């Protein structure tokens, strides 16, 4: 996990640094506006740098649990990608078809029977329409943005 830890620390440091620089040199924030972010941001960057050095200086941990030094759990990336696919589906297909289709595809391609998948998808669409759109009056965009009025 060292790679991930170091990577995240670096990301945090760079993220803050970039925005601090933007604040100072591009947006030209006055001191009262920028003072807290600068203080906290610099402190965090300093700590992050320190943590990176310390992590890299240590030998890679293989001791305590032997082979079970914390590693990226299997299947996480795949699961993340799968779940992330819901977003474009919702954006491009609307909040009715999008989630339903997402459920249908997900369930089917993860080994569930057609019947289960279809029932879930249909149930989802019904729940969204009746529960959210009608009952709670949350006007989720039922149609995608490119749908002609």
Partner 1 sequence: MRTSTRTTGVRGLVGAGLAAAALALAPAAHAQDAAAFYKGKTVKILVGSPPGGGYDAYARIIAPHLAKKLDAEVIVENRPGGGGLLALNMLVTGKADGLTLMHVSGEGAIMSQLTNRAGARWDVRKLVWLGRTAQERKIWFFSTKSKLKSLDDALKAKEIKWSATGPADNISDVAAVVSYVLGLNSKIVTGYKGARGMALAVIKGETDSGILSSSSAARLIKSGRLKGIAVVSRTRTPHLPDLPTIFEATKVPADKAWWIDFREKIGEAQRAMVTTPGVPADRVAFLRKAIGEVLTDPAVVAEAKKRRRIITYLPGAELAKVVEDALNHVKGERLELVKQVMLKKYF
Partner 2 sequence: MLDSVLDGLARVGDPTALLYLVIATLIGVVFGVLPGLSGLTALALLLPLIYGMEPGAGLAFLLAAHAVVNTGGSVTAILLGIPGAPANTATLVDGFPMAKQGRGGEALGAALAASGIGGVIGVVFLIILLPVLQPIVLLFGSPETFCLVIMGITFIAGLGHQNLTIGLISAGFGMYLGFFGYQQVSGVPRYWLDYDYLLNGFRLIPLALGLFAIPELVSLAASGGTIARDGARTGVLRADVYKGFRTAVSRKWLVLRSSMIGVVIGIIPGIGGETSPWVAYASARQTSPEGDKFGKGAIDGVIAPESANNSKEGGALVPTLAFGIPGSSAMALLLGGFFLVGLEPGPEFLKKHMDIAVSLALTVALANILAVVVLLGVARHLAAITKVRGHLLAPSLLVLLILGTYSVANSTTDVMFMFGFGVLGVLLREAGFNRPALLLGFVLAPLAETYLHISLNVQGWSFLLRPISLGILGLTLLALLWPMIRRSLRKIRS
Question: Rounded distance, CA 131 to CA 102, Å?
Answer: 19
Packing angle between helix 31-57 and helix 2-21, nearest 10 degrees? 160
CA-CA distance, 38 to 28, in Å (whole number)? Answer: 13
User: Residue 66 or residue 140: which is nearer to partner 2 going by CB?
Assistant: 140
d(CA 128, CA 140): 9
Shortest distance, CB of residue 28 to partner 1, whole angstroms?
12
Residue 101, CA atoms < 13 Å, CB-side half-sphere: 14
Min CB(148)–partner 2 separation in Å: 19
Residue whose CB is less far from partner 1, 112 or 141: 141
Residues interacting with partner 2, by CB under 8 A? 1, 4-5, 8-9, 12, 15-16, 19, 22-23, 27, 29-30, 32-34, 36-37, 40-41, 43-44, 47-48, 50-51, 54, 70, 72-76, 78-80, 82-84, 86-87, 90-91, 95, 99, 102-103, 106-107, 110-112, 116, 120, 124, 128, 132, 136-141
Rounded least distance, CB 137 to partner 1, Å: 8
The CA-based angle 51-52-54, given to 5 degrees, is: 65
Residue 148 interacts with, from partner 1, partner 2, none (CB under 5-8 Å by kind): partner 1
CA distance 64 to 55: 17
Minimum separation from the CB atom of position 76 to partner 2 (A):
5
């Amino acid at each position: 996990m060292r790679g991930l830890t170091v990577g995240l620390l670096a990301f945090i440091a760079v993220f803050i640094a970039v925005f601090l620089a933007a604040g100072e040199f591009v947006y030209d924030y006055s001191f009262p506006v920028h003072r807290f972010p600068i203080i906290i941001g610099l402190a965090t960057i300093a700590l992050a740098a320190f943590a990176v050095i310390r992590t890299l200086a240590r030998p890679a941990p293989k001791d305590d649990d032997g082979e079970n030094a914390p590693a990226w759990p299997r299947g996480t990336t795949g699961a993340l990608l799968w779940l992330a696919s819901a977003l474009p589906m919702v954006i491009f297909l609307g909040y009715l078809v999008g989630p339903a289709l997402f459920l249908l595809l997900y369930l089917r391609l993860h080994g569930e029977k057609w019947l289960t998948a279809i029932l879930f998808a249909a149930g989802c669409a019904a729940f969204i329409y009746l529960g959210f759109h009608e009952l709670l009056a949350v006007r989720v965009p039922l149609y995608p943005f490119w749908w002609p009025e």
